[in-house]
Structure 1
Amino acid sequence: MPVVYPLAICYLLGLVAASRWSWNPAVSACCAVAGAALLLSAPGRRGRAFLAGLCLAGFFCAALAFHLDARIYEAIPMRRHIEQSQAAGRRLCAVRGVARTAPLVQDGRARFDLQAQSVRSPSGEWRPMPGRLRVVMPAGAPAPRVGDILQLEGSLSDLDRLDPDVAAGLRRRHVAGFLFPHPAAPFERLGEAPVFFLFRLGETLRMRIGAVYSTRLGEPYAAVMGRMAFGQAWRTPRELYDAFRRAGTVHVLVVSGLHVSVLLGAFLWIAVLWKNNPWISLAVLAPGLLVFFAMTGGGPSVTRAVIMGLVFLAALAAGREYHALPSLCWAGLFMSCADPHAPFQAGTQMSFLACLGIMLGYPRLAPLIPSGWPRAARWVARTLLVSLCAQIPLYPVVAWHFHKVSLVSIVSNVAAVPLAMAALVSGFALGVLGALWGGFAVVLAPVVKGLLWLLIGAVRLFAAMPFSDIVTARPSLPEIALYAAAACGAVMAADAWLKGRDRTLTGWMLCACAGGVALAWSFAFRTPPQHARVTFFEVGQGDSALIEAPCGRGRAPVRVLVDGGGGPGEDAGPDAFDPGERVIAQALFRRGIARLDAVIATHPEEDHLDGLLWSLEHLRVDRMVDLGFDPGSAGYARMRRAVESRRIPYTLAREGLVLRAGGCLLLEFLHPPHEFIALAERNPNEVSTVFKMRFADKSVLFAGDIEDWAEEMLVQKAGNALRSDALKIPHHGSATSSSAAFLDAVSPGVAVISAGRGNMYGHPHPAVIERLERRGVRVLRTNRHGDIELILPRRGPVRARTQ
């Protein structure tokens, strides 16, 4: 067994352990040294002592690297400088540094990473201040090139106001904060750093080849060809990218082993001109792979593929047999040592698992294809088998990270992959030769365009099929383990059957069946919540809450989503922050929720409505409750289209409406009366929906965005019916709401205020906080506490937990 197998496994386990538990790095260092000593003292460097030392050293070296990486980020000087500047109220700053990455244009703004070197102090002198910043250029401003030494002036911002997942991704890259340059003078170029020569060369080649694509192919073919050739360094229209994702063929738009193997195969075929001299191939193709890496801008999949390609060329030159699995393990070790967070990224996991599935599954299942079939039928069967082996390991990972799977992907790749390979080879020939002489482009452009037309047509066909975009709940880790056991058992059982090993066949079949049955049981009988709970999500300057209530043994729990915060709007780009997709959907999937008993929009304004659109368009919703007042916004029109197209039962929210959900949850609507709807155009807040949730003897009052006039009407009409254990404070705690009479009528023990961090409205108003505290009410705020969870047991008081 190659040494790299246990080393790679133990190193990965060390990273996983360090990500979940924290201990003193000195302990890891001592254990790693002990493992290394045991490793070196083993006789002949083999045997159990050698293996134990190898595993011990690998495990604790990984843990040490992970913990040190976290401490290095905490000690970044630029990060502390941003915190001190914000505490002192100073945001404007002048920074000098080097552009580390090629700019990516999103929504007309160029974004790139700057390796900061110094900042200008208030006295005018430059002080050393190393750190990495994400620079967001003004709209329409020119973008620098990678390696440029720049001086920028603008405002600094930390990562705390970002979506938590986005902020975590930036922290893994050691990004200390954001820099927004001044529109009048975005940057001044001071020179270029020679260390970035390779990436500058790659950027130059990418721009020249991209110009050929744009001129000769046109849209959308240039966008697809550019994305296939250069990966994330090239932008693709959102509609087209979504079609590839739904068809399960998005991997052809990500530079990976497929692209590198196609290019290596093409160039090695040309190597016949060199009489197959492996040293010439290594001398020419190794630099070519590095330039290709620079052209794509890097990334987990292309890094893994380039490392494996270099190992292949080195084995070819040394006259040794190439083994793909050890090469894959070495690539994983190299990437994990360079970046301890790499194994936790979706791109890394998908790239390695797809390769692992093909390497382990295809050789065992290929004999199932009869040799007597016609050549064309065997080719189709083998392509289908390769697609199956690559896709099967990816389903739980895709469900975990993206909460969607495409069941047509196994078939769609049979058509898409050969077309993509042909388009990739001919497209690179078009780009390289066309940049040298336009005559080549005249000949090759129609061929490339025809292949891309077939590829896009096939992708759109499969994307429109049923089961192409299935929304799934996030699987638990035990469920992923059961899935892996069932898949491995099925493959090994087929291998044992082909080799005539009856006893082994029986064992692997039992393993596969047991894993499959346990997995199905797990999905069918997930543990329901023991108590009712209401979760108020941090969605910025907006409202959103999820109600969950158990309805007894054998009955599904009730889930009601109330508001969704503000969405990105019609004019925002594809990467804009949508709380419906980035906050609410993630929370639902983490809890295994793919169906909602009801969705309630208390208010037609965007800070309540727009974040609901994702749920209405992607989840199963049994009922939509809304005021029925159309403010003429694009978000409301989209909501109505989703309700009508998906045939969701629609109910108007009016005083006196009572909804019973699952026999365990009661929703009593107290406002607005029918005659108040005419007032919506004058002040929409006054007709906001107010309802009371009852579970057992507990209650929570949702007061929407009502203000003092509506509060007075409610106190007069409802009186003691307003009394509740908890209150969602109306209108984000504005000065025009939460009057003394209203708070006295509700008399809550807990009050939740949903407001954005650093919002421009000053919510919540200090007078509202004072009135609540004077009455002994516990005040919780999403702009301070993050997500807030109220637990409503059948017996005992209401409890509150914060993020």
Structure 2
Amino acid sequence: MALPALFGPACATAMLAGAGACLALPALPAWPWLLVVACTGMVLASRERWARLAGVLLFGFAFAGLHAAHALRQQVPAAWVGKAHALDGRIVELPLHEPRRTRFEFVVDADAAQPAALRGKRLRLAWYEDDPRARARLVAGSRWRLPVQLRPPQGLRNPGGNDGEKQAMAARIAATGHVLEPALARRLSPPAGIEAWREAMSARIAATALPSSRFIRALALGDTRSLTEDDWSRLRAAGLTHLIAISGFHVGLVAGFFALLSVACWWACPGLCRHVPRPFAGGFGAIAGAFAYAAMTGFALPTLRTAVMIAALVAARCLRRRQRLVDTLALGCIVLLLLDPLAILGAGFWLSFAGVAWLLWCLPAEQGPRRWAMVHDFAAAQAVATLGLLPLTVTLFGQASFAGPFANLAAVPWWSLVVIPLALLGLLAESLHAGGGAILWHAAAWCFDGLWPLLARIADSPLAMAWLPESRWHALPLALLSVFWLLLPRGVPGKPLAMLLWLPLLCPPRDLPGQGEAELVVIDVGQGLSVLVRTARHSLLYDMGPATPDGFDAGARAVVPALHALGVGSLDAALLSHGDNDHAGGWAAVAREFPIAALLAPAGSPAPGIANCVAGQSWEWDGVRFRMLHPTPGFPYLGNEASCVLRIETARGSALLTGDIGHYVERALLRREGARLRNQVVIVPHHGSAGSSDPGFIDATRAQLAVVSSGAGNRFGHPKPQVVRRWCDAGAEVLDTARSGAVRIWLGRNGLQADERRASRPRLWDAARRRHAAAGLCYAPE
């Protein structure tokens, strides 16, 4: 048996499998054990046959685990919450300016003047200030002294939502926080370095005042800060997000230009060939250009992958070894894993390597001359990439772009061969002479504008994109097996049957309640509330979470993705308990995405309502009765106290949704409703504030499960310990979305059941918060 090449495809697959297996664990082994496994793997990798593959797999497992453990140890402990620090450091990446805040990444200086626990670490900060001119001073590459308040990286955990804690660990973010007193911040030095150059070039493209300059900035510099939500929606629907930011193709263009420039220099000065052959000079120029451009983009994964592959090809040529493209791909994979094994936590890693791998496997390496060969090969590549990446796209993003293949047929050649080269040449001209790039950027924008209306029309088609429910773990491997089967050569039998393997991915079970049953999903929206109520054939959304002026919209970031992941296509009713932002702020985002048949809100509420919610209203869906308990007719709008209180009655139990009512309304309900307050499930009023959860009200509910919807580390201190204690003393299990993530509750044939998102889908980067949640909320405050 041939010995597997240490940097060949088999070993690359083994190392990738090992790293992936480690990062899929719910918790990491202790670092000494990981070190032992790494040493064992290196010993086995030097042996023969299958021992080498086993050794590489073990090394990949331990290497990824050690990186993850180090990244988690670098994060600040929870004890740092609320403490102020004065830090010196440099702004890296391009700051994102929003209406009332600017978000940026800040690397603390490594000198002895900084707190020992923060030296050299990367922070994600926000600067809150209404004056945009003051925040405009925050420029990439500048150094500042900032008074900040920090906390460990935290994120929401919902079906279909982004995992902010995973992203923070992969990016080595040690803490998040905000600038305490912007007036006390002081700039230590002006912008310098590559980041400053990117910021300056982006500003000069923006100064052209072209309508599509935001796209030119994205295509030339990877600066997507000015793209609107509508732009991103269209790009996703058209399957073009892979083109709009810096990609490997950009690196290839720059590397090719530097190679030609090097060859031209050697052609002009033949004497240089005595020292370095001209082909080698071209290769070294390509490597220099590729890595310089990758550094300019912050070593983004697609650029680094392409630069590594270019280096591998040049090295093979210099060594006069014939290297297959699959070997180059494997080498690039191994080098990237050695540089940063946590890169596999990003979707870009899988899409990049999977796309290239499918193309290398399916498309012939060499073909004889034939008419329309280039057009045929391009169309074939699009078909293979679309089919091969569809399972990953659905799994990673929960959506499938049916318009993508058609939009890419037009956009890939036009943007890649015309728009992007013009934009990059504009950067070169502008770097050589101020104002020299304007005409090239105008040309790039003119070429972009010629095709964008067609792409926008394709993206706006109702059939352009489909959202798909969250699938089971086995759906992805079955779909990949189907793709492999379908892409086998002609004549292989059973291809129509292979289509059946797509069903678990494209048509996953939705676990809808049966007749007379109900399901509640308390969505993790931070400091706010949103509850999805489903019966067998109907859906109701109670509140939509907050939307703050600084740019956070829980409706768009949490509620809409959760509804898509749960398979909700439309809402039969929506209820805004009252007009406060933490309950009604996300309404606009939800209304844009989902048809809503009926909308209810209390009379006088500033939130829009087609009809008023009034005590006594009731209706029935699929054997489940919905009854409004508050506000009573004529009750004035008093904000929290006017919240719509909804009781859901099933054949198996009942639930009470309380909004933000306080003691006054709770006691009034106790007098007026009596036995109707008895419910197995209660959404704790007003996020567990001290002004709610009256002892008499708690005793009357006799709740088995009380759910608090609050934000982690919120400034109000919700839920209050004394409120939690009251519910616990009454015999209720108390769950908090800040600890548990989204909470899914069933009132069905098996009685009351609950599922906590963090507990049911454990991840090693939230192990500490899971331990905190497992301790329960029924605790004595310290």
Which residue, out of 371, 379, 400, partners 2:395?
400
- The answer on whether the counterparts of 1:28 and 1:61 sit within 8 Å (CA) in structure 2 is no
Partner of 2:546: 566
Change (3 A) 1:129 1:258: closer
Residue 420 of structure 1: how far off its partner (Å): 1.0
Q: Does 1:131 align with 2:121?
A: yes
- For the residues of structure 2 that align with 1:174 and 1:521, how far apart are their CA atoms? 35
Moved more, 722-731 or 782-791: 782-791
SS of residue paired to 1:477? coil
Partner of 1:417: 412
Partner of 1:547: 533
Partner of 1:602: 577
- The answer on whether the counterparts of 1:28 and 1:60 sit within 8 Å (CA) in structure 2 is no
Residue 408 of structure 1: how far off its partner (Å): 0.8
Q: Does 1:701 align with 2:656?
A: yes
- The answer on whether the counterparts of 2:681 and 2:705 sit within 8 Å (CA) in structure 1 is yes
Letter in 1 for 2:359: I
Partner of 1:337: 338
Which residue, out of 556, 576, 584, partners 2:559?
584
- For the residues of structure 2 that align with 1:406 and 1:801, how far apart are their CA atoms? 31
Letter in 1 for 2:251: V
Which residue, out of 105, 117, 121, partners 2:110?
117
- The answer on whether the counterparts of 1:597 and 1:661 sit within 8 Å (CA) in structure 2 is no
Which residue, out of 596, 613, 617, partners 1:653?
613
Residue 26 of structure 1: how far off its partner (Å): 5.0
Moved more, 328-337 or 751-760: 751-760
Q: Does 1:228 align with 2:219?
A: yes
Letter in 1 for 2:55: A
SS of residue paired to 1:506? coil
- For the residues of structure 1 that align with 2:199 and 2:723, how far apart are their CA atoms? 57
- For the residues of structure 1 that align with 2:232 and 2:520, how far apart are their CA atoms? 36
SS of residue paired to 2:524? coil
Deviations 1:38-78 (Å, cap 9, x if unpaired)? 5434xxxxxxxx231221111111111122123323433x7
Q: Percent identity?
A: 22
Q: Does 1:611 align with 2:566?
A: no
SS of residue paired to 2:288? helix
SS of residue paired to 2:147? strand
SS of residue paired to 1:245? helix
- For the residues of structure 2 that align with 1:250 and 1:522, how far apart are their CA atoms? 22
Q: Where do 1:15-34 residues align within 5 Å?
A: 15-21=19-25, 22-23=28-29, 29-30=35-36, 32-34=38-40
Letter in 2 for 1:186: A
Moved more, 698-707 or 55-64: 698-707
- The answer on whether the counterparts of 1:96 and 1:152 sit within 8 Å (CA) in structure 2 is yes
Deviations 1:521-575 (Å, cap 9, x if unpaired)? 66546262688543323322222223345x5xxxx6x55432222124xx444xx
Change (3 A) 1:612 1:381: farther
- For the residues of structure 1 that align with 2:156 and 2:112, how far apart are their CA atoms? 24
- The answer on whether the counterparts of 1:206 and 1:230 sit within 8 Å (CA) in structure 2 is yes
Q: Does 1:476 align with 2:472?
A: yes
Which residue, out of 30, 39, 64, partners 1:66?
64
Which residue, out of 604, 629, 646, partners 1:670?
629
- For the residues of structure 1 that align with 2:594 and 2:367, how far apart are their CA atoms? 39
- For the residues of structure 2 that align with 1:127 and 1:410, how far apart are their CA atoms? 49
- For the residues of structure 1 that align with 2:664 and 2:43, how far apart are their CA atoms? 77
Residue 587 of structure 1: how far off its partner (Å): 4.0
- For the residues of structure 1 that align with 2:453 and 2:234, how far apart are their CA atoms? 10
Q: Does 1:92 align with 2:92?
A: no
- For the residues of structure 2 that align with 1:476 and 1:440, how far apart are their CA atoms? 54
TM-score by length of 2: 0.82
Q: Does 1:159 align with 2:139?
A: no
- The answer on whether the counterparts of 2:108 and 2:119 sit within 8 Å (CA) in structure 1 is no
- The answer on whether the counterparts of 2:744 and 2:755 sit within 8 Å (CA) in structure 1 is yes
- Root mean square deviation of aligned Cα: 3.7
- For the residues of structure 2 that align with 1:632 and 1:459, how far apart are their CA atoms? 38
Partner of 1:195: none
- For the residues of structure 2 that align with 1:450 and 1:234, how far apart are their CA atoms? 21
Moved more, 514-523 or 347-356: 514-523
- The answer on whether the counterparts of 2:658 and 2:684 sit within 8 Å (CA) in structure 1 is yes
Q: Does 1:357 align with 2:358?
A: yes
SS of residue paired to 1:304? helix
Of Structure 1 and Structure 2, which has the larger fraction of its residues in helix? 1
Partner of 2:236: 245
- The answer on whether the counterparts of 1:687 and 1:706 sit within 8 Å (CA) in structure 2 is yes
- The answer on whether the counterparts of 2:702 and 2:731 sit within 8 Å (CA) in structure 1 is no
Residue 36 of structure 1: how far off its partner (Å): 4.1
Change (3 A) 1:23 1:729: closer
- For the residues of structure 2 that align with 1:365 and 1:582, how far apart are their CA atoms? 46
Partner of 2:645: 690
Partner of 1:304: 305
- For the residues of structure 2 that align with 1:297 and 1:667, how far apart are their CA atoms? 54
Deviations 1:574-616 (Å, cap 9, x if unpaired)? xx3x323333344445555555554333223322223354444
- For the residues of structure 2 that align with 1:661 and 1:191, how far apart are their CA atoms? 64
Q: Does 1:627 align with 2:601?
A: yes
Change (3 A) 1:710 1:403: same
- For the residues of structure 1 that align with 2:327 and 2:584, how far apart are their CA atoms? 52
Q: Does 1:5 align with 2:9?
A: yes
Letter in 2 for 1:561: L
Letter in 2 for 1:236: L
Letter in 2 for 1:730: P
Q: Does 1:184 align with 2:164?
A: no
- For the residues of structure 1 that align with 2:354 and 2:60, how far apart are their CA atoms? 20
SS of residue paired to 1:143? coil
TM-score by length of 1: 0.80
- For the residues of structure 2 that align with 1:138 and 1:725, how far apart are their CA atoms? 42
Change (3 A) 1:203 1:744: closer
Which residue, out of 523, 531, 536, partners 1:537?
523
Q: Where do 1:349-388 residues align within 5 Å?
A: 349-363=350-364, 371=370, 375=372, 379-388=374-383
SS of residue paired to 2:749? coil
- For the residues of structure 2 that align with 1:241 and 1:779, how far apart are their CA atoms? 39
Partner of 1:346: 347
- For the residues of structure 1 that align with 2:80 and 2:198, how far apart are their CA atoms? 39
- For the residues of structure 2 that align with 1:366 and 1:485, how far apart are their CA atoms? 27
Partner of 1:314: 315
Residue 619 of structure 1: how far off its partner (Å): 4.2
Q: Where do 1:440-459 residues align within 5 Å?
A: 441=437, 444-459=440-455
Letter in 1 for 2:86: A
Residue 111 of structure 1: how far off its partner (Å): 0.8
- The answer on whether the counterparts of 1:482 and 1:516 sit within 8 Å (CA) in structure 2 is no
Deviations 1:747-781 (Å, cap 9, x if unpaired)? 33433333334444454456645654554444444
- The answer on whether the counterparts of 2:710 and 2:719 sit within 8 Å (CA) in structure 1 is yes
- The answer on whether the counterparts of 1:534 and 1:790 sit within 8 Å (CA) in structure 2 is yes
Deviations 1:473-515 (Å, cap 9, x if unpaired)? 23333222222222222221xx3x3xxxxxxx234xx1x3333
Moved more, 442-451 or 474-483: 442-451
- For the residues of structure 2 that align with 1:798 and 1:391, how far apart are their CA atoms? 40
